[in-house]
Amino acid sequence: MRTEARAVVIGGGVIGCSILYHLTKLGWSDVVLLERDELTSGSTWHAAANIHGLHDSANISRIQHYTMRLYDELEAETGQSCGVFRPGSLYLAQTENREHQLRLQAAKAKLYGMNFHEISRDEAERLHPLVNFDGIRTIMWEPDGGNVDPSGVTNAYAVGARQRGAEINRFTPVTATEQQPDGSWIVKTPKGDIRTDWVINAAGLWGREVARLAGIEVPLQPTEHQYFVTETIAEIAAMDRRLPSVADRDGEYYLRQEGKGLLIGAYEKDMRFWAEEGTPLDFAHDLFPDDLERIEENMMRAIDRVPLVGEAGIKRVINGPMIWSPDSNVILGPVPELRNYFMCGGIIPGFSQSAGMGLMAAQWIIEGEMQYDMFPWDVARFGHWANNPDFVKAKVRDVYAHRFAIHFPNEEREAGRPLRTRPAYETQKEMGAVFGLNYGWEHPLWFSDTQGTKDTNGFTRQNWWEPVGAECRMLREKAGIIDISNFAKYRVKGPGAEDWLNAVFANTMPKAVGRSCLTPLIGVRGGIAGDATVTRTAEDEFYVVSSGMAERYHKRFFDMVPLPEGTTFDCLTEDMCGFNVAGPKSREILQRMTNASLATEDFPFMRSKWIEIAGVRALAIRVSFTGDLGWELHCATEDQLRLYSALLEAGAEFGAGPVGGRALMSLRVEKGYGSWSREYSPEYFPQEVGLERLCKMEKDFLHKDAVAETLAKPARERLVLLHLDEGDVTASNADATGGEPIFKDGVGIGRVTSGTYGYTVGMSLALGFVKEGAPGDAVEVMVLGKPHKAVILDEPPFDPKGERLRA
């Protein structure tokens, strides 16, 4: 066994072997995989191993299509069969919402050149004569859908990796992972130690235990999962072809051919956790006792759809473990608190994603960043708060039982909440606030007249649409008070603070105390990794405000630049809260609460002061994400409720009141403002989002060389604001929400990143990226998967010259 390697992969399931293979494919040959038992032990060997290409996320769809294509190449390259069957997949919609989802996916497939389209019932019956299509509204067809052999795929990755120089050691459990002072790792096993640059935790069911060897916790929880295979069905045995799989997600089961019978699996409501205290170390190719009564309701729905299932005997039952994250997405990426420790765990559709996941991991490890923005998979989307066992179990119970439920735009799941609250939470709740979850924190989305009101969910306008409109109009006509405590907040202090911030961010830091600047944070490939407002609060002190959900993600970038001696960096997100008071009456409201002058000449746009307001010390920054006249007020967390109550009391005299996050979304789109994870992402270059002027190339900053390369190239696409035709929008009762394809003259030219109704400009609006098109051009936005006429605007409809903002 090697004693040194560039990377050690822990775990010999399909994901660990894929990561190993892709590391070698990108040029690293001195890599090692350690497996405590035999390859495929754990969850891999008993997987149903279905493969499909389409996903609600465009980037995950790309990854899944890469995976499906690679299996053929892998077989040719290695000579190892992957057991690929591609009889196609039928996707059924029983409800209007499922129909909307499938039509939107079909529109995305057309945009990205993927094969997924609607077919008639007659065609579906020809493809799968055993299915009863009664009650089905829409049928979609994916010709490349099917399944693979779990052992074959895993071993093909292993063979391919070995051919390029990788070493695989079976029956070699890892007993310790110890980081050395130089940042390298010692991985200990009974067969000897390996010194390595990178540790990659792909241990599957043992991901938690392996992580603990490095002193970290990851929010994962295994469950039981069942499927069964029928005896031979004569009608299938008589066929000269393989039947397509059936995705009847409204029925909450999956179904495909296995041998000359059928395989049916289910995600039942009466689910079971397993290994809550830790996965047994002696578990390998093991299963649990059958418990088909738990999935009886799902089985009966499958029988209604394919009556022959009810007549066939059961050949075998598989009841095995799988391990879940709180949102059912993989936990992927370098752990921000450790150097060169890569996590990859909690994978559910492993055989649809294995190759793409291996490629993304290898790119990140070798090149420093993935080609796609995969924040929905990033380990950094969860903080320390997510390791609460009750939270993890509540979320896993919810995502398992609703595995096939539609994830609607703007949907908020209640399981495991509230987890993190601030002092104003109970007051906001009593005021009728309907809350969302952001990096573990509860924050008001909108305010209802009735306490206890909950969101309704769907693709069309929901119960919050009118109340949010009222909040927007109140703010634009009078003023509104928005809780912005979710923003990430940092303090950089010391003699090297300015130099450090200039070395991190692309813009030049403010020279004078009381001035602020907007600045991009540049990614490894030259894209927009983040954006921040930086305020100089003293000669040697700066206050940084950025995206709250990206707090742990951005830690990776901050740690890339060493702090100068005597300079400190502190995260203040838990210690500080904030409110944005905005609207034409905001100055009058706030002026009554403070002795500090808020007049334009004394407090112009992008300036700041420490002031006392209603007896509370607060940092007032004249900036507003609403695009309106306004101030952000940042105070100590213990003062939040006191300040909030005073703002509400003072605002009431002027007709102002609380405003939630959904209204803020509408207001910022009216102004054409982008936001992180939607319009700002490592995938997008500065010149594509209008931030190139904030990249000061005369100074050095993080990843300057990369952004210099991107700025030297023409924009691949550009961010535009679209106005959707009111007649189309009214007829569908739906606005764009994000992800909808954009077509021009029948050709796909882009996609929506943010969509909403602009209540105060009377326009259905969408921000999106297009490869071509000029202001005034007519395009079509595929809202609900159907074409909606739209026009590219030449300027934002609200305050295009910024007169209100700077008043």
315, 321, 326, 330: CA torsion to nearest 10: -90
Q: What is the pLDDT of residues 582-604, one digit of tens each?
A: 999 999 999 999 999 999 999 99
> Per-residue pLDDT tens for 720-748?
999 999 999 999 999 999 999 999 999 99
| C-alpha dihedral (226, 232, 234, 236), degrees to nearest 10 | 60
Structural contact between residues 49 and 147, judged by C-beta atoms closer than 8 angstroms: yes
Convert the pLDDT of each residue in 373-432 to its tens digit.
999 999 999 999 999 999 999 999 999 999 999 999 999 999 999 999 999 999 999 999
pLDDT in tens, 310-325: 999 999 999 999 999 9
**pLDDT tens digits, 470-493:** 999 999 999 999 999 999 999 999
Residue 514 has pLDDT above 90, yes or no: yes
Residue 54: the pLDDT is: 86
Q: Judge contact between 330 and 346, C-beta under 8 A.
A: yes
Query: What pLDDT, on a 0 to 100 scale, did the predictor assign at position 476?
Result: 98
Long-range contacts of 416-420 (CB under 8 A, 24+ apart): 416/326, 416/388, 416/390, 416/391, 416/392, 417/442, 418/442, 419/385, 419/388, 419/391, 420/385
- What is the per-residue pLDDT for 492? 98
pTM (global) more than 0.75: yes
For 731-790, write each residue's pLDDT tens digit: 999 999 999 999 999 999 999 999 999 999 999 999 999 999 999 999 999 999 999 999
The tokens for 703 are 């990843």
Residues facing 659 on adjacent strands: 482
Contact 252, 374 (CB under 8 A): no
Q: What is the pLDDT of residues 635-691, one digit of tens each?
A: 999 999 999 999 999 999 999 999 999 999 999 999 999 999 999 999 999 999 999
Residues 274-286 have pLDDT tens digits of 999 999 999 999 9
Q: Which amino acid is at 479?
A: A
From the number of C-beta atoms within 10 Å of its C-beta (0-12, 13-18, 19+), residue 470 rates as: middle
Return the closest-CA partner of residue 143 out of 241, 245, 253.
Answer: 245
pLDDT single digits (tens) 531-576: 999 999 999 999 999 999 999 999 999 999 999 999 999 999 999 9
Residue 292 and residue 317 in contact, taking contact as beta carbons nearer than 8 Å: yes
Model confidence over 8-18: pLDDT tens digits?
A: 999 999 999 99
CA distance 582 to 587: 8
Q: How far apart are the first and last CA of the chain?
A: 71
As given in the structure block, the two tokens for residue 179 are: 């980081």
What are the backbone angles phi and psi of residue 201, rounded to the nearest 5°? -90, 100
Task: Give just the sign of the alpha carbon dihedral 326, 332, 337, 338.
Answer: positive
